[in-house]
């Protein structure tokens, strides 16, 4: 195997797959990529046995072949390489020479047959989604990270299609960790077919990998079969193994109560206020107290090991006073993935969850459960 590839052809892909190849699996070789040189160019494959990636790139091929090579070291070499054209040459005993006339690396490779095969998929119907809203959707649901809880509905995001009375189709993702929930929608219109009839659960870490490859210009193709969620863009494909399990019934949780108080806040000012009030929180004392009363919001934080803090903001509130504790980090993570300048807080009392949405963007909704005071 011997080929010359331009650095800017593969540097972005190699950067984006570092999270994938950096995960621990039962096979050591999954920390490597599979390089395959054919007459048409090169392909780069990576997998952690749950998520697979394959990309095709232009290169000048002198001889065909395949080799597995450590993903981290190969990325570090090309990232710091001083020129655009890089020669990759398998010399002997699966040693690989990388360089040009001025610089040269020799690193050991592994037998390509030891690299896990990526799943093949046939007869999958794909539908098209614009990359920018799809990336926002992924950011919305993956803002709720996975915990030590390995249940499917905790480590995965629920994906389903919603059909309105006028036949408008919406694709929806829902994510939860048990203490909060995020819902994100994309309206796809009427003239489209989505081939999964029931909801599916897709690992959030796989969706995070997808988000890294999305740009703001080109649409992507999405499809699924009984085992995999598939995302294709131009010359790159990501395949994610679906999770088995039941996702909780969430529909009642995202309904806004008729008796809720609606508080309109400047998103950036509210976010900075929460950041200041979170300085004194810790793993043992994560909650901050929200006190809504008489057109003002008072947020206070008390940590017996460190100290206490309080800050007041003028708001439009004329309901009965509410004192409730929340994990401020949940609010900050929700606000960080919102685009609107103004946000709406729908809050009823100290027992029921707080719903957060943007002033204009109603496709994203965050639900945060209160903490016991």
- CB neighbour list of residue 106: distance below 8 Å, 6 or more residues apart: 91, 95, 96, 97, 98
pLDDT digits (tens, 9 = 90+) for 310-338: 999 999 998 899 999 999 999 999 999 99
Q: What is the pLDDT of residue 320?
A: 92
Average pLDDT score over residue span 222-231: 92
Beta bridge partners of 99: 87, 104
Spatial separation of the C-alpha atoms in residues 34 and 7, rounded to whole Å: 17
pLDDT of residue 366: 98
Mean pLDDT value across the chain: 93
Taken in order of first residue, the domains within the chain and their CATH numbers are 2-114 (3.10.150.10), 127-241 (3.10.150.10), 261-368 (3.10.150.10)
pLDDT digit string, tens, across residues 179-215: 999 999 999 987 787 877 789 999 999 999 999 999 8
Number of Cβ within 10 Å of residue 372's Cβ equals 6
User: Quick one: pLDDT band at residue 373, thresholds 50, 70, 90?
Assistant: low
Give the pair of three-digit tokens for residue 25: 């699996």
In this predicted structure, the answer to whether residue 166 has a pLDDT above a threshold of 90 is: no
Q: Which helix (H) or strand (E) holds 205?
A: helix 204-213
Only one residue has tokens 């972005």, namely 12
Alpha-carbon distance of 135 to 116, in angstroms, equals 28
Lookup: tokens for 74: 């190969």
pLDDT tens-digit profile of 19-33?
999 998 889 999 999
* Residues in a beta bridge with 129: 220
Checking if the pLDDT of 147 tops 80, the result is no
Query: Over the stretch 239-283, which tens digit does the pLDDT of each residue have?
Result: 999 999 999 999 999 999 999 999 999 999 999 999 999 998 888
What's the confidence (pLDDT) of residue 75?
Answer: 97
pLDDT band for position 119 (50/70/90)?
confident
């Amino acid at each position: 195997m011997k080929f010359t590839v331009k650095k800017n052809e593969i540097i972005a892909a190699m950067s984006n797959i570092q999270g994938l190849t950096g995960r621990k699996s039962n096979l050591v070789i999954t920390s490597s990529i599979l390089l395959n040189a054919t007459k048409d160019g090169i392909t780069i494959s990576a997998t952690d046995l749950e998520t697979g990636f394959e990309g095709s790139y232009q290169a000048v091929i002198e001889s065909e072949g395949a080799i597995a090579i450590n993903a981290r070291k190969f990325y570090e070499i090309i990232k710091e390489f001083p020129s655009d054209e890089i020669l990759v040459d398998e010399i002997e005993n699966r040693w690989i020479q990388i360089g040009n006339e001025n610089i040269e690396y020799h690193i050991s490779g592994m037998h390509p047959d030891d690299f896990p095969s990526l799943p093949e998929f046939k007869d999958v119907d794909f539908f098209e989604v614009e990359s920018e809203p799809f990336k926002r959707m992924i950011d919305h649901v993956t803002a709720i990270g996975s915990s030590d809880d390995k249940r499917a509905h905790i480590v995965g995001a629920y994906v389903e299609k919603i059909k309105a009375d006028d036949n408008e189709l919406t694709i929806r993702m829902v994510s939860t960790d048990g203490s909060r929930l995020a819902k994100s929608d994309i309206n796809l219109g009427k003239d489209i077919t989505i081939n999964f009839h029931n909801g599916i659960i897709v690992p959030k870490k796989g969706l995070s990998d997808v988000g890294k490859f999305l740009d703001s210009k080109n649409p992507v193709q999405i499809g699924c079969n009984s085992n995999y969620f598939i995302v294709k863009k131009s010359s790159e494909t990501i395949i994610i193994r679906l999770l088995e399990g039941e996702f909780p019934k969430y529909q009642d949780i995202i309904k806004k109560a008729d008796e809720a108080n609606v508080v309109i806040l400047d998103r950036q000012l509210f976010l900075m206020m929460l950041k200041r009030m979170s300085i004194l929180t810790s793993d043992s004392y994560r909650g901050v107290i929200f006190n809504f009363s008489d057109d003002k919001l008072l947020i206070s934080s008390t940590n017996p090991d460190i100290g206490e803090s309080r800050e007041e903001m003028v708001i439009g509130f004329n309901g009965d006073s509410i004192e409730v504790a929340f994990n401020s980090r949940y609010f900050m993570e929700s606000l960080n993935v919102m685009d609107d300048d103004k946000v709406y807080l729908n809050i009823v009392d100290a027992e029921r969850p707080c719903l957060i949405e943007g002033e204009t963007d109603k496709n994203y909704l965050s639900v945060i459960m209160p903490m016991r005071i």
